Amino acid sequence: MVALVQRAASASVTTDGETVGEIGEGLLALLGVREGDTEAEAVGLAHKTAHLRVFPDEDGRMDRSLLDTGGEALVVPQFTLCGDASGSGNRPSFSAAAAPSVAEPLYEAYAERLAEHLSRDVPTGVFGAEMQVHLTGDGPVTLWVEKTPGG
């Protein structure tokens, strides 16, 4: 399971012209679920996301988390994060991505557990929908965060 986490001044996600999720300052997490991922990885990655120290303290050092700042989180499903473009062709392979029947419950588990850590609602995108993600980045700060079995 992988999350591309971006520090945001604001972020939103729309589908069919309707805003389905938006936040102010916080983190935008684009989430990819791989074949073989489990709820344990979703729980661990949500914990990691909530505790990531990527916000500046009073000295300007990245030493504060969403929990410290009271920041928000927006979670958007993105199976393309599981793509592999390392082959000789130009079309990425998505064979590592979990089937929707597996990925959707794990995506929901991640968002739900993140909401529990933050003690607030966590808006999300719509699983399987065509979406437009809008981000006003802060920093910019972007991290690739993985949670693997036993990791």
Residue 125: CB atoms within 10 A of its CB come to 24
Distance CA 40, CA 120 (A): 21
Element (DSSP H or E) covering residue 28: strand 26-32
Q: Phi and psi dihedrals of 45, rounded to 5?
A: -70, -35
Tokens representing residue 32 in the block: 């990819």
Q: Name the residue among 87, 54, 88 with its Cα closest to residue 68.
A: 54
The Cα 16–Cα 133 span in angstroms is 12
Active site members: 78-80
